[in-house]
Amino acid sequence: MGIGWCKSAWKDKIGTSGEINLILINLLKDAGIKVRPILVSTRENGIIITSVAGYDQFDKVMAYVDIADKHYVLDATEQETPSHLIPLNVQASEGLLISKLDNFEWGWTVLWNDKNKFAKAVFINADLDSKGKMSGIAKVTSYDYEKMKDLKDYRKGTDKLKELKITQAGLTVDSLTVEGADVDSLPLVQEFKFTAPTNSSGDYNYFSLNYFTGFEKNPFLSEERRTEIFYGALQDYSISALVYLPEGYVMDELPPNMKMITSDSSIIFKRYVSQGDGFLNVQVTLKFKNPIYSVEAYPEINEFFKKMYALLDEKFVYKKK
């Protein structure tokens, strides 16, 4: 099959997602690459019931490519999705490969790669002054699907990106640099120069470190939920902070080190807090080992998130010696 049957889409450089992806498939075939159409149902369209699947359960066709022992799922209409990532709207689903019936290279296949994750590392290096101001640099490194999320914000412009990152009262972003936005093989690195106020009560000052993390607002405030939680991929986050105290100040009693694990061990949160001579060190890790969580699991997740967000927002207290 050539591209003649969708000549108008080829000529006008505009067409349906099906036409565009079938053009891609034929171009790859012409280049000698093993590729087949795969019928899929995107997240918005719903889950396919494979035992009684009909054409009306699918809403898109994509390209399924075999190179050596690796498989790639390509959607030419997704400009921000690099070739090594399965498009997120079909990750953790099943698709129907279309090929000749006599060679058995057709049928259902699971669209999943556990190496494709939402992954982000946040590093904060900040100084506190004697007047109660925190100033420093936050370096946010985003990988895979997390990079795609952050790219959407970045494409809105620098001013809009700064605005989106100001999630706490008094936080100011003075400057921003971005690297890796146009290179698929590199993470997205955003470096924010920021200032933020601390609070005081009597002889004590206190501050939070929940800046630029993406975990400023708990998404699971409702006590009940009627649908599953569908992330679509595994998740891996780390937050590291190094905060230097002003001369003549010390940390008050530190919050305890913490480890929380759900009953099925699929969500793990760890926090480690330590101090040295004139500085505070905080390390946080958060891992999600499942891409989907059932409605039945929601009560435990709801409680887990309440505790986790309280820990992320917990204040660190310092005072004069």
Is residue 165 located within the same domain as residue 268?
Answer: yes
In this prediction, residue 125 carries a pLDDT of 99
Distance CA 275, CA 281 (A): 6
Q: Please give the average per-residue pLDDT across 215-231, as a whole number.
A: 95
Note whether 207 and 315 are within 8 A (CB). Answer: yes
The reported pLDDT for the residue numbered 163 is: 78
Q: Which amino acid is present at 205? A: N
Enter the tokens of residue 37: 């159409």
Q: Which of 56, 76, 111 is the last residue before a domain boundary?
A: 111
Bridge partner residues of 35 (DSSP): 65
Q: Are 188 and 233 contained in the same domain?
A: yes
Asked which of 58, 86, 111 is the last residue of a domain, the reply is: 111
Same domain, 10 and 99: yes
Instruction: Give the chain's mean pLDDT.
Output: 92
pLDDT score of 101? 58
Q: Are residues 142 and 266 in the same domain?
A: yes
Is a pLDDT exceeding 80 seen at residue 317? yes
Of 11 and 175, more confident: 175
Tell me: pLDDT of 4 over 60. no
Instruction: Say if residue 100 is in the same domain as residue 225.
Output: no
Query: Which whole number is the average pLDDT over 16-36?
Result: 92
Per-residue model confidence (pLDDT) at position 253: 94
**Are 126 and 15 members of one domain?**
no
Q: Does one domain contain both 47 and 162? A: no
Structural domain of residue 262, as residue ranges? 117-320
Identify whether residues 127 and 106 lie together within a single domain: no
Q: Is the pLDDT of residue 258 over 60?
A: yes
Final residue of a domain: which of 64, 82, 111?
111
Co-location of 94 and 126 in the same domain: no
Whichever domain contains 187, its CATH number is 2.60.120.1130
CA distances from 42 to 57, 92, 103, 220, 298 (A): 10, 10, 27, 24, 23
Q: Is the pLDDT of residue 6 over 80?
A: no
Q: What angle do CA 64, 87, 150 make, to 5 degrees?
A: 150
Q: Is the pLDDT of residue 105 over 70?
A: no
- Residues 141-174 have pLDDT tens digits of 999 999 999 999 888 887 877 777 877 778 999 9
Cα separation, 146 vs 143, in Å, equals 5
Q: Are residues 252 and 307 in the same domain?
A: yes
122 and 90 co-located in one domain: no
Structure tokens at 239: 């937050």
Whole-prediction pTM: 0.91
Task: Look at the chain and report how many structural domains it folds into.
Answer: 2
Q: Are residues 102 and 77 in the same domain?
A: yes
pLDDT, tens digit, for every residue of 40-71? 999 999 988 888 878 889 999 999 999 999 99
